C-alpha cells in the first residue's frame, strides 16, 4: 500500500511538473509575442484587417473645339448575387417579384431569372452574374427591386463599380483621339489619350479601411489619407462636324474602290489647327475602321504631289520661269539609261513649265530639275531644305509614332544621276501625309509655315492652365512672287488640268493630284500593280480657309487609281460640305449618295432635343451621334452598330418610352 501511495505521489509530481513547465513555456511564448516579436505580429494582423484602399482619380475629358465631348469616363456597374447569404424566408418570398422586375428591365422571361436564382442557390453560388455594364440610373433602379433592396446581407446583392472610357462620337477619329491599350488596362499610348496621359490621368488617392466581415471593408476615418486629384481636361482643335464630314467622305470612296487603307486631314490655314483626321484600314472581312494613324506615322513616296515642291525650287532659283518651254517629247524620255513615261499617250510635246505642272508631266518636271541641277545637285537639296522640308517638317507633334521625312543627299554612297529626275516627280524620297499637307498649307498661308496643332489648351476646373499658341516653323518658305505663281498653277490644275473633273462653279479649290506606284520592287508588280492615289490642296482658292490632303493606298485598279479619280472626290466633298449649300450637280466616280448638309442635320437635332418625348421618336436618317444623344436624353439605353446615319432602329417610332429600355441603332 505505501508503495502504491508513493507511485501515485510521483505521478502527481510528474504531472504537476509537466503542467508547470507547459505553463512556463506558454508564458515565455506570450512574452516573446508581446515584446520580442510583437511588432511583427501586430503588422501581420494589421495587414490582414487594415489596408490602404486606392481611390481612383477621375480621368480628364477630351473636348472638341466647340466643346463637344470626344472622350470621357463614366461609371459602369456589374450586379452579382450571393445565393448563400440570403435567408430562406427572404429567398422564397422575393425571388418571384425580383425575377419579374428583371424581366421588365432586361427583356428575358421571368422564369429564366427564377430558374437561374434557384440553380445558384442549389449550387451554393456566391458570385452569380445578374447583369453587366449598367449606367448609373439603371443601377439605382435595380437596387430598389424586391430582395435587392434589403442590401448585401439579407438581399444578396453584390455591386461592382468600375470606370470605363467612352467616345460619344463612336469610332470616328479613334486613332487621333486615342484609346486604352487592351492588353494593358488603364494604359494609354495612342493618340491624344497617350500623348497627354500624364495630364489626363490625375493622381489616385488613398483611404484607410478595416475589414469587418465577409470581405466587407469600411473606412477607419472619415477623411482620406490622400485625396485623389482629378485629371486635367484637354481641349483639342478637332471639330466634330468637319470630322464627321471627312470620315464619311473617305469611307465611301474607300468602299467603292476597295482600297487597302487611307487617310484624310483637314487643317486651318492661318493657325495650323487640325480640324479633322480620319484613318481607315481594311479588315479581313472587308470592313473599314481606324487601325493605324497613317496621317502621322506612315512615310511613303508622295508621287506627283511633290512636283509642286520641285517646281517651287526651280522658280525660286530662277532655273526657269512659268513660261519656259519644256520639251516633253512623245510621252517617254531616257534619263541616264532609264526611261520615264507620261500617263498621256503620245505625250504633250513642247509646253510651258507651268503647263508641265498643270498636266502633271513626269518628263516635264524631270527635265526641268535635271537640266537645272545636274551639275550641282546639292543646290536642289539645299533649296528644298530652305523650304523646311527636311528640318521644319520634323514636326515634333505630341502624338506618338510620327514618321520622319527622308530626303536623299548627293554625298550619300547610294546617290546616282537618276536621283534628281526621280525626285522631281516624287520618288526616291518619303514624307508623311501630315508633312506634305504642312507644306501645302504654307502655300495657302502666303508662304508662312505653321506647325500643325492638335491641342488648344489644358484646363483645370474649366480654367486654362496651359495654352498652345500658333507656332511658326518657317516665316517665309520662298518669295511672294514664287508663292503667287504656284498658287495660280494650283488653281489652274482644278480648272483645266489633271483636277478639272473636280471643278465646281459654286466654290473654288486649288490643289495637286498625285498618283504613285507602290511596292514596284516586288516581283509580282506587273501582274498586280499597286498605287497610292492622293490629292493635296486648299479652299477657297482665292482666300484659303482650310487645307486638306487625301491619301488612299492600293485602290482596285479595275475601278481606277489616279489621284484625280480616287482621292480628288473626297477633297471636293469635304470642301463642298463645309462651304456651300449647293447640291453636288456633277457627281463623279459613281458616288451616288446625296447627303443632307451636316449643318441641317444639327439644326434638326437641336430642334428635336428641345421637345419632350413620351413616345420613341423616328431617328432614321439622322447622324448616329445625334440620335444617341437624343434617345439617351429621353431615358433610353442606346446600343449602336456600325458608323454613319441611322438605317434601322429596334424600337419602332411611336411606341411609349420606357425609361432604361435598350434601343439598338444600325448605322450605315
More confident residue, 208 or 524: 524
pLDDT on residue 38:
59
pLDDT tens profile 59-71: 899 999 988 889 8
Query: What's residue 380's pLDDT?
Result: 97
If DSSP states are collapsed to H, E and C, what string results for 608-647?
Answer: HHCCCCCECCCCCCCEHHHHHHHHHHCCCEEEEECCCEEE
Q: In which band, very low, low, confident or very high, does the pLDDT at 596 lie, cut at 50, 70 and 90?
A: very low
Please check the confidence at residue 606 and state whether its pLDDT lies above 70.
no
List the Cα angle 72/78/84 in 5-degree steps. Answer: 165
Give the per-residue pLDDT at 633.
Answer: 62
Please confirm whether the linkage preceding 540 is cis (ω < 30° from 0): yes
- Hunting for cell 448575387 — which residue is that? 81
Q: What is the 3-state secondary structure (H, E, C) of 203-251?
A: ECEEEEEEEEECCEEEECCCCCCECCECCCEEEECCCHHHHHHHHHHHH
| Chain-centroid distance, C-alpha 117 | 42
In the numeric block, the cell 486606392 is attached to: 54
How many residues are given for the chain?
A: 668
SS3 call for 12: helix
pLDDT the model gives residue 395: 66
Higher pLDDT, 49 or 571: 571
State residue 298's pLDDT score: 92
CB distance 547 to 537 below 8 Å: yes
pLDDT at residue 513 greater than cutoff 60: yes
Name 92's Cβ contacts closer than 8 Å, sequence gap at least 6.
none
- Strands of the sheet containing 216-219, edge to edge, are 50-55, 205-213, 216-219
Question: Residue 400 pLDDT > 60, yes or no?
Answer: yes
Residue 586: is its pLDDT beyond 50?
A: no
Is the separation of the CB atoms in 261 and 553 below 8 Å?
yes
Band of the pLDDT at 383, cuts 50, 70, 90? very high
Higher pLDDT, 334 or 225: 334
Q: H or E stretch including 69?
A: strand 69-81
Residue 418 burial by Cβ neighbours in a 10 Å radius (0-12, 13-18, 19+): middle
What would be the CATH architecture of the domain defined by 240-579? 3-Layer(aba) Sandwich (3.40)
Q: Which among 70-79, 400-409, 470-479 has the top mean pLDDT?
A: 470-479
Of residues 216 and 313, which shows the higher confidence score?
Answer: 313
pLDDT at 598 over 60: no
Confidence of residue 601 (pLDDT cuts 50, 70, 90): very low
pLDDT at 94: 95
Write the secondary structure of 484-496 as one string of H (helix), E (strand) and C (coil): HHHHHHHHHHHHH
Residue 379 has pLDDT above 90, yes or no: yes
Q: What is the pLDDT of residue 28?
A: 73
pLDDT on residue 182 = 55
The per-residue pLDDT for 585 is 38
Q: What is the mean pLDDT of residues 422-448?
A: 96
CB 572 within 8 A of CB 219: no
Q: What is the pLDDT of residue 226?
A: 81
Confidence of residue 510 (pLDDT cuts 50, 70, 90): very high
pLDDT at 257: 96
Give me the residue label for grid cell 526641268. Answer: 368
Q: Which residues of 67-103 are buried (b: 16+ CB within 10 A; e: fewer)?
A: ebbbbbbeebbbbbbbbeebeeebbeebbeebbbbbb
Cell numbers 520639251 correspond to what residue? 327
Considering the chain, what percentage of its residues have pLDDT values greater than 70?
83
Q: Are the CB atoms for 202 and 60 separated by under 8 Å?
A: yes
User: Cα 162 vs. chain centroid, distance in angstroms?
Assistant: 22
- Can you give the pLDDT at residue 35? 65
Output the nine-digit C-alpha cell for 513. Answer: 493630284
State how beta strands 546-553 and 261-268 pair.
Answer: antiparallel
pTM of the shown model: 0.75
How confident is the model at residue 216, as a pLDDT?
59
The rounded distance, in Å, linking the Cα atoms of 389 and 440 is 11
Give residue 37's pLDDT. 62
User: What are the grid coordinates assigned to 48, written together?
Assistant: 490582414
What number of helices (H) and strands (E) belong to the chain?
22, 25
Reading the block at residue 599, the C-alpha cell is 449643318
Res 228: pLDDT: 82
At 222, give phi and psi (nearest 5°).
-70, -30
Kindly report the CATH number that applies to the domain delimited by 55-236.
Answer: 3.90.1310.10
Q: Are 79 and 106 in contact (CB under 8 A)?
A: no
- The number of angstroms, rounded, from the C-alpha of 614 to the middle of its chain's C-alpha atoms is 36
Under the banding of pLDDT at 50, 70 and 90, the label for residue 220 is low
The CATH number of the structural domain formed by 598-667 is 3.30.10.20
Helix (H) or strand (E) holding 277: strand 274-282
- Band of pLDDT at residue 386, cut at 50, 70 and 90: very high
3-state secondary structure of 599: helix
Q: What integer pLDDT is reported at residue 394 of this predicted model?
A: 64
DSSP track, 153-218 = HHS-EEEEEEEEEE-TTTTTTHHHH--B-TTSTT-B-SHHHHHTHHHHH-B-EEEEEEEEETTEEE
Please provide the average confidence, as pLDDT, over all residues in the chain.
85
- Indicate the pLDDT class of residue 608, thresholds 50, 70 and 90: very low
Q: What is the DSSP string of 576-596?
A: HHHH--S--SS--TT----PP
Question: For residue 42, is pLDDT > 70?
Answer: no
Average pLDDT over residues 509-513: 98
Residue pLDDT, tens place only, 554-583: 999 999 999 999 999 999 999 999 986 334
DSSP structure class, residue 453: B
Query: CB of 454 within 8 A of CB of 192?
Result: yes
Residues 449, 442: Cα–Cα separation, whole Å: 4
> Closest by alpha carbon to 562, among 512, 521, 528?
512
High-pLDDT (> 90) share of the chain, %: 55
Alpha helices in 212-361 (DSSP H): 240-257, 294-297, 307-316, 353-358
Predicted pLDDT at 215 = 59
Angle 166-167-170 from CA coordinates, rounded to 5°: 125
Please identify which residue in the block is written with the cell numbers 472619415. 222
The per-residue DSSP string of 16-65 comes to: HHHHHHHHHHHHHHHHIIIIISHHHHHHHHHHHHEEEEEEPPPPPPEE-T
Instruction: Please give the pLDDT value at position 292.
Output: 87
What is the reported pLDDT for 538?
98
226, 57 Cβ separation under 8 angstroms: no
d(CA 666, CA 668): 7
Binning pLDDT at 50, 70 and 90, where does residue 236 land?
very high
What band does 488 get if pLDDT is binned at 50, 70 and 90? very high
The Cα–Cα gap between 552 and 581 comes to 27
Indicate the pLDDT class of residue 591, thresholds 50, 70 and 90.
Answer: very low
pLDDT for residue 373 is more than 70: yes
Residues 6 or more apart whose CB falls under 8 angstroms from that of 25 comprise none
Amino acid at each position: 500500500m505505501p508503495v502504491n501511495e508513493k507511485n501515485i505521489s510521483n505521478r502527481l509530481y510528474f504531472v504537476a511538473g509537466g503542467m508547470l513547465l507547459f505553463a512556463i513555456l506558454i508564458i515565455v511564448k506570450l512574452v516573446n509575442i508581446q515584446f520580442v516579436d510583437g511588432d511583427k505580429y501586430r503588422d501581420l494582423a494589421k495587414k490582414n484587417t487594415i489596408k490602404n484602399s486606392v481611390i481612383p482619380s477621375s480621368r480628364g475629358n477630351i473636348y472638341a473645339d466647340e466643346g463637344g465631348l470626344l472622350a470621357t469616363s463614366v461609371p459602369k456597374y456589374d450586379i452579382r448575387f450571393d445565393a448563400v447569404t440570403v435567408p430562406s424566408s427572404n429567398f422564397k418570398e422575393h425571388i418571384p417579384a425580383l425575377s419579374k422586375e428583371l424581366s421588365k428591365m432586361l427583356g428575358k422571361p421571368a422564369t429564366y431569372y427564377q430558374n437561374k436564382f434557384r440553380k445558384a442557390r442549389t449550387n451554393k453560388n456566391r458570385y452569380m452574374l445578374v447583369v453587366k455594364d449598367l449606367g448609373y440610373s439603371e443601377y439605382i433602379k435595380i437596387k430598389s427591386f424586391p430582395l435587392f433592396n434589403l442590401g448585401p446581407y439579407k438581399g444578396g446583392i453584390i455591386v461592382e463599380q468600375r470606370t470605363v472610357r467612352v467616345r460619344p462620337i463612336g469610332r470616328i477619329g479613334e486613332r487621333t483621339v486615342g484609346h486604352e491599350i487592351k492588353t494593358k488596362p488603364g494604359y494609354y499610348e495612342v493618340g491624344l489619350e497617350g500623348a497627354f496621359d500624364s495630364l489626363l490621368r490625375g493622381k489616385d488617392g488613398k483611404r484607410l479601411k478595416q475589414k469587418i466581415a465577409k470581405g466587407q471593408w469600411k473606412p477607419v476615418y472619415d477623411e482620406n489619407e490622400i485625396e485623389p486629384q482629378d485629371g486635367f481636361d484637354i481641349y483639342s482643335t478637332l471639330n466634330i462636324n468637319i470630322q464627321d464630314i471627312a470620315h464619311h467622305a473617305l469611307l465611301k470612296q474607300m468602299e467603292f474602290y476597295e482600297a487597302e487603307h487611307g487617310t484624310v486631314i483637314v487643317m486651318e490655314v492661318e493657325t495650323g489647327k487640325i480640324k479633322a483626321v480620319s484613318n481607315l484600314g481594311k479588315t479581313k472581312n472587308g470592313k473599314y475602321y481606324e487601325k493605324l494613324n497613317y496621317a502621322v506615322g506612315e512615310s511613303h513616296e508622295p508621287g506627283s504631289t511633290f512636283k509642286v515642291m520641285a517646281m517651287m525650287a526651280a522658280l525660286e532659283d530662277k532655273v526657269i520661269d512659268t513660261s519656259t518651254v519644256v520639251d516633253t517629247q512623245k510621252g517617254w524620255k531616257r534619263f541616264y539609261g532609264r526611261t520615264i513615261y507620261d500617263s498621256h499617250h503620245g505625250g504633250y510635246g513642247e509646253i510651258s513649265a507651268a503647263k508641265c505642272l498643270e498636266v502633271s508631266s513626269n518628263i516635264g518636271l524631270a527635265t526641268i530639275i535635271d537640266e537645272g541641277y545636274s551639275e550641282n545637285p546639292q543646290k536642289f537639296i539645299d533649296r528644298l531644305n530652305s523650304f523646311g522640308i527636311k528640318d521644319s517638317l520634323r514636326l515634333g507633334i505630341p502624338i506618338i509614332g510620327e514618321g520622319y521625312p527622308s530626303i536623299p543627299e548627293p554625298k550619300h554612297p547610294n546617290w546616282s544621276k537618276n536621283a534628281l529626275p526621280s525626285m522631281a516627280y516624287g520618288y526616291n524620297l518619303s514624307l508623311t501625309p501630315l508633312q506634305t499637307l504642312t507644306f501645302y498649307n504654307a502655300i495657302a498661308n502666303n508662304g508662312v509655315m505653321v506647325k500643325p496643332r492638335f491641342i488648344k489648351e489644358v484646363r483645370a476646373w474649366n480654367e486654362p492652365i496651359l495654352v498652345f499658341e500658333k507656332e511658326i516653323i518657317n516665316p517665309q518658305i520662298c518669295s511672294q512672287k514664287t508663292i503667287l505663281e504656284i498658287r495660280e498653277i494650283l488653281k489652274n490644275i482644278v480648272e483645266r488640268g489633271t483636277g478639272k473633273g473636280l471643278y465646281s462653279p459654286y466654290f473654288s479649290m486649288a490643289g495637286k493630284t498625285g498618283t504613285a506606284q507602290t511596292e514596284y520592287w516586288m516581283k509580282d508588280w506587273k501582274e498586280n500593280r499597286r498605287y497610292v492615289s492622293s490629292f493635296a490642296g486648299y479652299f477657297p482658292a482665292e482666300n484659303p480657309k482650310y487645307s486638306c490632303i487625301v491619301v488612299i493606298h492600293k485602290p482596285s485598279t479595275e475601278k481606277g487609281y489616279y489621284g484625280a479619280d480616287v482621292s480628288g472626290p473626297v477633297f471636293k466633298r469635304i470642301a463642298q460640305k463645309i462651304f456651300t449649300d449647293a447640291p453636288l450637280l456633277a457627281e463623279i466616280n459613281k458616288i451616288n449618295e446625296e447627303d443632307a448638309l451636316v449643318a441641317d442635320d444639327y439644326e434638326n437635332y437641336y430642334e428635336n432635343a428641345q421637345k419632350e418625348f413620351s413616345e420613341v421618336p423616328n431617328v432614321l436618317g439622322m447622324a448616329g451621334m445625334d440620335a444617341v444623344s437624343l434617345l439617351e436624353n429621353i431615358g433610353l439605353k442606346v446600343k449602336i452598330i456600325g458608323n454613319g446615319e441611322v438605317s434601322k432602329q429596334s424600337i419602332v417610332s411611336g411606341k411609349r418610352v420606357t425609361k432604361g429600355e435598350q434601343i439598338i441603332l444600325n448605322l450605315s
